[in-house]
């Protein structure tokens, strides 16, 4: 189970295997600026500071270019962490929308 | 009246299989052709061969087409578009499968707009002889027909003038910087017939597509569509709600590639002598989302 740490705020959540970073944060009761959730609009980009992600579904190269990928841009609605990762939101803050979901996120099995 | 309606919208999708599932099983369109990595669809209440084309690879706008009544109408637009200074090329029958001769105009934004007057007839799903009110086995939300699109453009006034002077449209509603005559136009809703809009333009830093919309049969069907979207895990951007602009009821949602779709219903009938409605930026929240009265952080930032 990879750990995800988000800046600013240094918030850490556990990600399920095969879960995207976006899905993991929302499952843990957090929100941030996102759009289509389907890899099309590029609004959910963040900086990948540490760790490794993969894209297990196609991503349009005009949304996330190869050079962006090598320079550490991560499209959070499609990126799946394969190691522990640390990301930094761009001109945005993580908002906790449900402390209950944060509290009980770990009890989910699926 | 030269142009009758928006005839087709053609977009790119990153994963063809997922997009096919969306447009056929969730939106409920009927597939009429699959060829060269493109899939063609029509709604049940449409009679032409297709109104939506999806193409594998990437995301976003490829082009859209407006259907004219007669070939002479296409020639007329060709003459006017050339005089207006926009690049125009002729397209021959078959260049788009099942579509006749026509022209392709490239807007300064790069958006390609096609005009044609013939498309292979397919027929209404309910037929035209003593028809029933809707198909007995509708799929998904059962979208009857393509309605309109909203494009992101960097020069609303210039492109609005093209659609008015060369295509014969007029503005039913506008968002402008003030109520003064010399105000700057931020967005415009343009119609050719009696519907609220066939195309809308919104000022933006990039030239993209904001959404394309299907006309539904009323608020009940909009609510039903939202239920289907939850069942099919379709990301909803906003709604069901109402737009202040056009008074239409709506849901914005995303296809599996991230293209924004809309279900739209209602609005008022528009006659050419109807005065244009004007909105000012301080009321933009109410203008776009009449109930929440505030813009979400996606309306002005998310497009493909
Ligand atoms: S939310 Fe649109 S690309 Fe991620
Ligand atoms: Fe719309």
Q: What pLDDT digit, counting tens, does each position of B157-209 carry? A: 999 999 999 999 999 999 999 999 899 999 999 999 999 999 999 999 999 99
Residue A108 lies in a domain: no
B145-288: CATH superfamily: 2,3-Dihydroxybiphenyl 1,2-Dioxygenase, domain 1 (3.10.180.10)
CA distance B1 to B73: 8
Provide the 8-state DSSP code for B33: E
Per residue in A58-85, pLDDT (tens digit) is 999 999 999 999 999 999 999 999 999 9
Q: What is the ipTM score, two decimals?
A: 0.93
Q: What mean pLDDT comes out for the span A6-18?
A: 95
Residues A38, B260: C-beta atoms closer than 8 Å = no
Other CB atoms within a 10 A radius of the CB of residue B43 amount to 22
Contacting residues for B241 by C-beta, under 8 A, at least 6 apart: B249, B250, B251, B289, B290, B291, B292
Provide the token pair at B163.
């659609």
CB contact under 8 A, B304 and A36: yes
Confidence of residue B31 (pLDDT cuts 50, 70, 90): very high
Residues 6 or more apart in contact with residue B233 via CB below 8 angstroms: none
Closest C-alpha to ligand 1, atom 3: A39
What are the residue ranges of CATH 3.10.180.10 in chain B?
Answer: 3-116, 145-288
User: Which ranges of B133-177 would DSSP assign to H, the alpha helix?
Assistant: 156-165
Sign for the CA dihedral angle at A71, B260, A55, A81 comes to positive
Query: What is the longest distance spanned by two Cα atoms in chain B?
Result: 53
Q: Is the pLDDT score of B292 beyond 70?
A: yes
C-alpha torsion A34→A35→A37→A39, nearest 10: -110
Domain-embedded: residue A86: yes
Q: Is residue A109 part of a domain?
A: no
Q: For residue B215, is pLDDT > 60? A: yes
Rounded Cα distance between B172 and B189, Å, is: 6
Q: Do B256 and A38 touch (CB under 8 A)?
A: yes
The CA–CA distances, whole Å, from B65 to A101, B239, B254 equal 47, 28, 22
Query: What would the mean pLDDT of B35-56 be, rounded to a whole number?
Result: 98
Q: Which range of residues forms the domain containing residue A82?
A: 3-103
Q: What value does the mean pLDDT take over residues B25-42? A: 98
Give CA–CA dist B148/A24, Å, rounded.
36
Ranges of beta strands (E only) in A1-110 are 3-7, 11-14, 30-31, 45-50, 53-55, 73-75, 79-81, 85-88, 95-96
At A59, list the tokens. Answer: 């991503």
Best mutation site among B258, B298, B303 for ligand 1, i.e. most ligand atoms within 8 A of its Cβ? B258
Window A:64-93, CB contacts with B under 8 Å: none
What average pLDDT does this structure show over B82-97?
A: 98
Q: What is the mean pLDDT of chain B?
A: 97
Q: Is residue A110 part of a domain?
A: no
The fourth-level CATH superfamily of domain B3-116 is 2,3-Dihydroxybiphenyl 1,2-Dioxygenase, domain 1 (3.10.180.10)
Mean pLDDT (whole number) for A12-37? 96
Residue A77 inside a domain? The answer is yes
Task: State the closest ligand 1 atom to the C-alpha of A63, by its place in the atom list counted from 1.
Answer: 3
Query: Candidates A41, A57, A59: which one to mutate for ligand 1, based on the most atoms within 8 Å of Cβ?
Result: A41
Domain total in chain A: 1
- A43 CA to centre of ligand 1 in angstroms: 5
Share of chain B above pLDDT 70, in %: 100
Mean pLDDT, range B215-230, rounded to an integer: 98
Residue in the block written with tokens 């578009």: B81
Q: What's the distance, CA B264 to chain centroid?
A: 10
Confidence class for position A109, pLDDT limits 50, 70, 90: low
Domain annotation covers residue A93: yes
CA B257 to chain centre: 17
Which residues from chain A sit within 8 angstroms of residue B304, using beta carbons? 36, 40-41
Question: What pLDDT does B103 receive?
Answer: 98
Pick the residue of B233, B295, B302 with the most A CBs within 10 A to test the interface with A by mutation.
B302
What's the CATH code of the domain at A73?
A: 3.10.20.30
Do residues B47 and B131 make contact, with C-beta atoms less than 8 angstroms apart? Answer: no
* Residue numbers in A near B254 (CB within 8 A): 35-38, 40
Question: What is the torsional sign of CA B55, B59, B63, B67?
Answer: positive
Cβ contacts (< 8 Å) between B258 and chain A: which residues? 35-41, 63
d(CA B283, CA B203): 16
pLDDT band for position B1 (cuts 50, 70, 90): low
Kindly list the protein residues whose Cβ atom lies closer than 6 A to any atom of ligand 1.
A 34-37, 39-44, 75, 77; B 258
pLDDT recorded at residue B297:
86
Question: Chain B partners of A38 at a C-beta cutoff of 8 Å?
Answer: 235, 254-258
CB-based contact B303 A41, cutoff 8 Å: yes
């Amino acid at each position: 189970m990879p750990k995800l740490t988000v800046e600013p705020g240094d918030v850490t959540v556990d990600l399920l295997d095969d879960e995207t970073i976006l899905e993991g944060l929302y499952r843990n009761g957090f929100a941030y600026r996102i759009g289509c959730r389907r890899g099309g609009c590029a609004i959910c980009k963040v900086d990948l500071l540490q760790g490794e992600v993969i894209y297990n579904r196609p991503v349009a190269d005009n949304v996330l270019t190869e050079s962006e990928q090598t320079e550490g841009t991560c499209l959070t609605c499609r990126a799946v962490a394969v190691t522990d990762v640390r990301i930094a939101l761009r001109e945005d803050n993580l908002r906790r929308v449900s402390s209950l979901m944060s509290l009980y996120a770990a009890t989910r099995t699926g | 009246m030269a142009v009758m309606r928006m005839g087709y919208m053609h977009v790119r999708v990153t994963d063809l299989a997922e997009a096919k599932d969306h447009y056929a099983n969730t939106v409920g369109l009927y597939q009429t052709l699959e060829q060269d990595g493109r899939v063609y669809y029509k709604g049940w209440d449409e009679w032409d061969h297709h109104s939506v084309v999806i193409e594998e690879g990437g995301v976003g706008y490829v082009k859209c087409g407006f259907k004219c009544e007669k070939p002479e109408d296409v020639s007329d637009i060709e003459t006017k578009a050339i005089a207006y200074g926009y690049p125009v090329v002729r397209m021959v029958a078959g260049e788009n499968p099942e579509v006749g001769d026509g022209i392709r105009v490239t807007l300064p934004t790069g958006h390609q707009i096609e005009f044609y007057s013939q498309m292979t007839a397919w027929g209404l799903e309910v037929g035209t002889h003593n028809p029933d009110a809707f198909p007995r086995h509708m799929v998904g939300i059962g979208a009857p027909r393509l309605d309109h699109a909203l494009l992101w453009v960097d020069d609303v006034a210039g492109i609005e003038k093209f659609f008015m002077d060369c295509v014969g449209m007029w503005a039913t509603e506008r968002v402008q910087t003030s109520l003064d005559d010399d105000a700057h136009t931020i967005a415009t809703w343009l119609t050719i017939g009696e519907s609220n809009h066939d195309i809308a333009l919104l000022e933006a830093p990039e030239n993209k597509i904001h959404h394309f919309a299907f006309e539904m049969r009323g608020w009940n069907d909009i609510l039903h569509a939202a239920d289907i979207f939850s069942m099919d895990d379709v990301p909803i951007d906003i709604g069901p709600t109402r737009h202040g602009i056009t008074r239409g009821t709506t849901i914005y949602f995303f296809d599996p590639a991230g293209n924004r779709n809309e279900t739209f219903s209602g609005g008022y009938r528009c006659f050419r002598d109807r005065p244009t409605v004007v909105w000012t930026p301080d009321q933009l929240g109410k203008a776009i989302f009449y109930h929440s009265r505030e813009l979400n952080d996606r309306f002005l930032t998310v497009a493909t």
